[in-house]
């Protein structure tokens, strides 16, 4: 018997990105729904249960918080697709509440790996590692808190470092 397919909601304005995400996630066996705006995403979440959101550039609009809690009584994990090579944007998305960030220009295998990891960590899919049972979920929750603290320290450290610029002339 095959495990139930998880439902992934894609929220992206760019049609090319939506199509790329849809193909990669459907090929991985997920049910996929797509919308173009955060408001449409909130409406979709209130209509049907969503296991995870993959969103393009929502932190600046403050949409991450509203998406995270749109499903009443359930927090939905969010993976944000950030501009490639923009470390500050990725940090901003994490600070705004994204569970993970992937850079644009990603490989499909990286995307599906990150989606699977988020689904496991949030107990939406069980593995032979036992993450789906309540005791494991509690242990995992403690581990997630520890990792969040480490991430906050890393972000603070990165903010104190001078910006590094790539040398464009390779002579």
Q: Is residue 2 part of a domain?
A: no
Number of structural domains (the chain) is 2
Q: What is the pLDDT of residue 7?
A: 93
Same domain, 108 and 94: yes
Q: Is residue 168 part of a domain?
A: no
Same domain, 95 and 147: no
Q: Is residue 170 part of a domain?
A: no
Same domain, 152 and 102: no
Residues 24, 27, 28, 29, Cα dihedral to 10°: 130
CATH code, domain carrying 54:
3.40.50.2300
Q: What is the pLDDT of residue 144?
A: 66
Q: What is the pLDDT of residue 77?
A: 92
Same domain, 105 and 143: no
Range of the domain at 86: 7-125
Q: Is residue 171 part of a domain?
A: no
**What CA–CA distances, in Å, run from 160 to 96, 125, 153, 154, 156?**
19, 38, 11, 10, 7
Same domain, 13 and 80: yes
Phi, psi of 71, rounded to the nearest 5 degrees: -80, 110
Same domain, 141 and 65: no
Same domain, 23 and 47: yes
Q: Which residues of the chain have pLDDT under 70?
A: 1-4, 58-61, 126-149, 152, 163-171
């Amino acid at each position: 018997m095959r495990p139930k397919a998880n439902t992934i909601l894609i929220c992206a304005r760019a049609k090319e990105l939506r199509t790329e995400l849809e193909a990669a996630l459907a090929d991985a066996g997920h049910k996929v729904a797509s919308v173009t705006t955060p408001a449409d995403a909130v409406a979709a979440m209130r209509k049907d249960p969503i296991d995870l959101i993959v969103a393009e550039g929502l932190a600046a609009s403050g949409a991450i918080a509203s998406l995270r809690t749109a499903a009443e009584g359930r927090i939905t994990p969010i993976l944000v697709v950030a501009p490639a090579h923009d470390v500050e944007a990725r940090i901003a998305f994490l600070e705004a509440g994204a569970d993970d960030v992937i850079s644009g220009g990603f490989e499909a295998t990286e995307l599906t790996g990150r989606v699977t990891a988020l689904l496991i960590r949030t107990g939406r899919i069980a593995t032979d590692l036992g993450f789906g049972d309540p005791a494991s979920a509690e242990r995992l929750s403690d581990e997630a808190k520890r990792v969040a603290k480490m991430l906050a320290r890393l972000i603070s450290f990165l903010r104190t470092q001078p910006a590094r610029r790539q040398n464009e002339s390779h002579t």
